[in-house]
Each structure stands twice: as structure tokens, then as C-alpha cells.
């Protein structure tokens, strides 16, 4: 081949190369200015469908560029922009009072805005996926959305994908109003990690039948939530899902739920806790620090209760364990202790728990008739001072009319409770008195 022929072949080969190596179908890329001083590279994803992603900011070494409003457009040069790439603004520092993502963009990449200071974010209903750390440490104070259904369906790759988790003190507003009620739409199978993290005005949530899982930190800090009814389809609640829901008093679990994640209901406000029959595992610290918890009903077929599951529940008085064969549990499942500050575990748990107190000395452990010997010889269960066998009946034989009496309240064993109110009790009012066997 002649030198001229070799040059012609080389030029032809160059023309056949793709313009960029980071596109789905080798269609190429283009550059465009999206705001004054901001030039971005766009990767063409589908030349026939005219879709592209914004992948990189080409305006290097910008440290003081400020915008009252920065709009990320959903259409540039005739292409529909469907995604914001990873680390979009990682090479520059921006100060943005209001960031508007136009409707049509569907995905936000990892750490896309990590070096950007953002005061307010307008998020469109088209967003379906936010990757890890997209808005981490941006100082964001407010997120404005227009559609709660799309927020519920949105997938979050990691808890720090959530703007409220990534930016403490950030608030989500729906059409300019605080969010007090959420009705999760039909078809939603899972609530994403930290989806409603620190929604301080949220008072009620309605879950759809078909929901399978509630992910980690999903409702952390929703301190106005008072009651929850989970659908029968729900099978798992992950770590720290409802931590610090300080007014959460009533929770109805589905009977077939098989697991409760670590610290999932820590520091809530439940007084009576009835765990579903199908539950196999109660994870570490799942119900710790529920100061007003006084009555606990354990599942019959529980296989594992992890450490700290019910620690610092200082008012716990009645524990009902329906299993004839108690499982072995750690001495840290029930009770309180003084931590040994010289020996802290790698995961933040105390490796040497120091002086462990007697397991809730005022608590009564109610067990099936005929199982007392097994409980008294099983580790940790044997620490209970009051182990009572029951046969499932109330013990009430008949009711007689008596002389008017002072109103008193008795527990199921016939003891006067001293005016304290419990769910399993007998109240004597006026001229009626119940006689026990």
C-alpha cells in the first residue's frame, strides 16, 4: 500500500471511531451550555429515541459561581435528557439558592451535587431513582415536590440518597405545604431507605396491600406518628425504620411477618407490644429504650432474639412467652446495665457490659403450664424472679352483687395494682365484684 493509501485508510478508520466511550449505543456526545458559564457534556443514549444523559461539567476551576436559580433542562439540542450522571459537578464549587430539575429527567447519579451548596431543590415527579450521596452535605434546607405518589414509588439506592438524611434539618414540602398524611399508592412493593426520614409533621401513613418491605431508616424521626397498621403482605422491616417515632403508641403487625430489623422501633412510645406469630427473628436492639412499654407478647415460634432487643424498657411488667421450649438468649436481651467504658466493641456495642442489673425485678414472666422447669433452667430466662405458669383462662368463675365498694383495679392474679392501669386487669366498680377460683 502506498503512503497516500495508508493516510486515506487511517482517516477512514478515525471516522469510524465513536466520539466517546461512555455511551450506550456508541452514538456519540455533544457539549452545550446550560447556564451562564456552565458547559456540560451530554452522552447520547439512543439516537433514534433522541435520549441523552448529562455526564460532565466542562467548566473547570470554578470556585465562586453563584446562581439564584439553576435549571437542569429536560431537553437540550433536541435530545430528551433522562439522567444526571455521577459526579456531575464534582470538579467545581457552585452556590445555588434554587436548583430546579425539569420534569422528564428520571435518574440522579452518585455524588452528582456533592460539591454544590444548594438551599432549595425542586424535584419533578419524573425522578424514579436517586443514587447514593447525590445530595450529600449540600446544606439543603428544603425540597419541593408536586406529587406524593411519585415520591413513594421513587427508588433510593442508599439512605444517604434521601435529601433529608443527607442534610440534617432539611424539610420536604408537597405543593408548598408540610406533609402530614401519606397514602402509599397501590403497586408499591417497598418503601425505600430513608424515604420519609425526619418528616416531623407526618401524622399518619396508609400502606397498601402488596407492600413487602420497609427499608432502613424509612420513617426515622417521624415524631408525630401515633398509630400504624401494616398490611398482611408485609414480611420485613429493616434496621432503624421507625427509630425516634416518639409518639408511636399503637402498631398492628401482620401475622406472617418473619423479621424485625436492628433498632427498628427503638425509642418509640408503645405500651403494649404484640408480636406476630410468624416472627422468627427479633434483631439487635429492635425495641430498646421504650420507656413506657409495660406488656410484651412474644411470638410462639421465635427462633432468635438478639442482644439488647428489650433493654432499657424500664417499666416492662408483663412478658408473655407462649413457647413450651424457651430459646437460649443473651443476658442483655432484657434489663439494664452500666457500660464499661474501657472496653467498647468495634461496632459501637459494649464488648464488656459491666454490671448487668437483675432482669426487671418487678416483671412477671407468663409461660405455658408445664414449662416452668425449662424456663428456670434456661440461660437468662432463669433470671426472672417471677415466673408464672398459666393455662390460658382468666380464672374468673362467677360474678356476684355485693355491697358498693371502692373502685379498685386488680391484675389477672388478683393483686391490687395500686391505681395503675393495665390491659389484662379486672376493675371493680360500685356494687359488682368478681370472684376468682
Cα–Cα distance for residue pair 269/139, rounded to 1 Å: 31
Confidence band, pLDDT 50/70/90 cuts, at residue 425: low
pLDDT, average across residues 284-311:
94
**Of all residues in the chain, what percent carry a pLDDT higher than 90?**
65
Q: What is the pLDDT of residues 25-69, one digit of tens each?
A: 445 999 999 988 889 999 999 999 999 999 998 876 666 788 999
Q: Tell me the pLDDT band of 273, cut-offs 50, 70 and 90.
A: very high
What pLDDT, on the 0 to 100 scale, is given for residue 411? 54
Residue owning grid cell 459537578: 89
Please, which pLDDT band fits residue 123 given cuts at 50, 70 and 90?
Answer: very high
pLDDT at 21 over 70: no
For residue 121, name the pLDDT band (cuts at 50, 70, 90): very high
Mean pLDDT (the chain, rounded): 83
β-pairing, 310-311 vs 355-356, is unpaired
Domains of the chain: 17-178 (3.80.10.10), 192-392 (3.80.10.10), 396-436 (no CATH)
Q: What is the pLDDT of residues 383-413, one digit of tens each?
A: 898 999 987 555 444 444 444 444 555 555 5
pLDDT at 357 over 70: no
Weakest-pLDDT range from 1-5, 44-48, 85-89: 1-5
Per the structure block, which three cell numbers stand in for 10? 487511517
Arithmetic mean of pLDDT, 17-26: 38
More confident residue, 342 or 265: 265
Q: In the predicted model, is pLDDT for residue 375 greater than 60?
A: yes
* Under 8 Å between Cβ of 244 and 265: no
Amino acid at each position: 500500500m502506498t503512503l497516500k493509501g495508508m493516510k486515506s485508510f487511517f482517516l477512514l478508520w478515525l471516522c469510524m471511531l465513536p466520539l466517546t466511550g461512555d455511551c450506550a449505543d456508541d452514538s456519540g456526545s455533544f457539549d452545550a451550555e446550560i447556564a451562564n458559564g456552565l458547559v456540560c457534556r451530554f452522552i447520547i443514549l439512543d439516537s433514534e429515541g433522541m435520549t441523552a444523559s448529562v455526564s460532565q461539567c466542562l467548566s473547570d476551576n470554578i470556585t465562586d459561581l453563584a446562581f439564584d436559580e439553576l435549571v437542569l433542562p429536560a431537553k437540550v439540542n433536541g435530545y430528551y435528557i433522562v439522567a444526571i450522571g455521577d459526579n456531575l459537578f464534582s470538579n467545581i464549587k457552585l452556590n445555588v439558592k434554587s436548583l430546579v430539575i425539569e420534569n422528564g429527567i428520571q435518574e440522579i447519579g452518585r455524588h452528582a451535587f456533592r460539591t454544590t451548596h444548594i438551599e432549595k431543590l425542586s424535584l419533578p415527579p419524573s425522578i424514579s431513582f436517586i443514587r447514593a450521596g447525590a445530595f450529600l452535605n449540600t446544606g439543603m434546607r428544603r425540597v419541593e415536590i408536586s406529587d406524593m405518589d411519585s415520591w413513594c414509588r421513587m427508588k433510593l439506592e442508599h439512605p444517604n440518597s434521601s435529601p433529608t438524611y443527607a442534610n440534617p434539618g432539611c424539610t420536604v414540602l408537597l405543593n408548598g405545604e408540610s406533609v402530614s398524611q401519606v397514602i402509599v399508592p397501590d403497586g408499591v412493593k417497598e418503601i425505600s431507605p430513608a424515604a420519609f426520614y425526619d418528616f416531623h409533621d407526618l401524622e399518619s401513613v396508609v400502606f397498601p396491600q402488596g407492600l413487602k418491605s420497609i427499608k432502613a431508616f424509612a420513617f426515622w424521626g417521624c415524631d408525630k406518628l401515633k398509630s400504624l397498621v401494616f398490611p398482611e403482605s408485609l414480611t420485613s422491616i429493616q434496621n432503624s425504620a421507625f427509630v425516634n417515632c416518639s409518639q408511636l403508641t399503637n402498631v398492628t403487625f401482620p401475622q406472617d411477618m418473619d423479621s424485625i430489623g436492628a433498632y427498628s422501633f427503638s425509642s418509640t412510645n408503645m405500651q403494649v407490644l404484640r408480636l406476630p406469630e410468624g416472627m422468627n427473628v427479633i434483631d439487635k436492639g429492635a425495641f430498646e429504650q421504650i420507656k413506657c412499654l409495660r406488656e410484651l407478647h412474644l411470638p410462639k415460634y421465635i427462633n432468635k432474639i438478639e442482644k439488647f432487643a428489650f433493654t432499657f424498657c424500664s417499666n416492662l411488667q408483663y412478658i408473655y412467652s407462649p413457647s413450651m421450649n424457651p430459646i437460649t438468649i443473651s443476658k442483655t436481651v432484657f434489663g439494664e446495665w452500666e457500660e464499661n467504658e474501657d472496653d467498647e466493641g468495634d461496632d459501637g456495642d459494649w464488648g464488656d457490659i459491666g454490671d448487668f442489673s437483675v432482669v426487671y425485678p418487678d416483671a412477671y414472666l407468663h409461660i405455658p403450664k408445664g414449662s416452668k422447669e425449662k424456663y428456670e433452667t434456661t440461660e437468662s430466662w432463669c433470671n426472672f424472679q417471677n415466673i408464672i405458669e398459666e393455662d390460658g383462662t382468666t380464672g374468673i368463675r362467677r360474678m356476684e352483687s355485693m355491697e358498693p365498694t371502692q373502685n379498685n383495679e386488680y391484675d389477672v392474679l388478683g393483686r391490687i395494682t395500686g391505681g395503675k392501669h393495665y390491659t389484662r386487669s379486672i376493675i371493680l366498680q360500685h356494687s359488682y365484684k368478681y370472684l376468682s377460683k
